[in-house]
Amino acid sequence: MATVKVFDMAGNAVSETELSDAVFGIEPNVSVMHAVVVNYLANQRQGTQSTLTRTEVSGGGRKPWRQKGTGNARQGSTRAPQWRHGGVAIGPKPRDYRYTLNKKVRRLAMKSALSTKVQEGKLIVLDTLTMDEFKTKTIVAMLNALNVEKKALIVTAQAEPKVYKSAANIPGVKTATVGTLNVYDILNGGTFIVPKNAVAKIEEVYA
């Protein structure tokens, strides 16, 4: 089992803890992580884009000129795709981009993402993460004490409104619970900050 230091919110190392090899110590599967990230991004698409075909564009009811004898190419409507203000020939229409991956693939990708953070040294375990008031300065001070730069993902065991709202307006900082955790946020979130009780819950779910 991998052993990591446990820090308090002031950035001091207070103890050590062991991480489960079944969750945080596997060999990361890059192809599976890629597949799950692509799936996640596809599922976020609204699919509301839409263009008008020649039958949906207003106008164009009269034939612009007679069929033969003018020297021009035959035309049936001024709303055909080759005309200005005409319809779009093969444009996008509303559609659902969602698709699913099987559970084993999703679980392997999650373990791979968590193991990647451990291997990169970007996983920070906190003793506790509690706040008595809504205070952005408290989260900023914690991040500075932990030497976290740029992006960070703060994960809690259960909903912590004071933590979430205090971190909401810090650029590059995202928050999540163990239940809403996903591979994309882990890989894209920079430093992975998680209290001990959330680590236990992650291991309980994915071990």
- CATH number, residue 36: 3.40.1370.10
Residue ending a domain, choose from 67, 96, 125: 96
169 with 187, same domain?
Answer: yes
| Nearest residue to 202 (alpha-carbon basis) of 174, 183, 184 | 183
Number of domains comprising the chain: 2
199 with 126, same domain?
Answer: yes
Domain of 51 in residue numbering reads as 47-96
118 with 133, same domain?
Answer: yes
Buried b (16+ CB within 10 A) or exposed e, 97-117: eeeeeeeebbebbbbbbbbbb
- Using one digit for the tens of pLDDT, what is the confidence trace for 43-85? 999 999 999 999 999 998 899 999 999 999 999 999 999 999 9
- Using one digit for the tens of pLDDT, what is the confidence trace for 111-159? 999 999 999 989 999 998 888 899 999 999 999 999 888 899 999 988 8
106 with 133, same domain?
Answer: yes
Q: pTM (2 decimals)?
A: 0.82
Query: Are the CB atoms for 63 and 74 separated by under 8 Å?
Result: no
- Strand residues in the chain grouped as ranges (E): 2-7, 13-19, 123-126, 152-156, 173-177, 191-195
> In this structure, what are the phi and psi dihedrals at residue 174, rounded to the nearest 5 degrees?
-120, 155
91 with 174, same domain?
Answer: no
82 with 178, same domain?
Answer: no
111 with 12, same domain?
Answer: yes
27 with 58, same domain?
Answer: no
8 with 79, same domain?
Answer: no
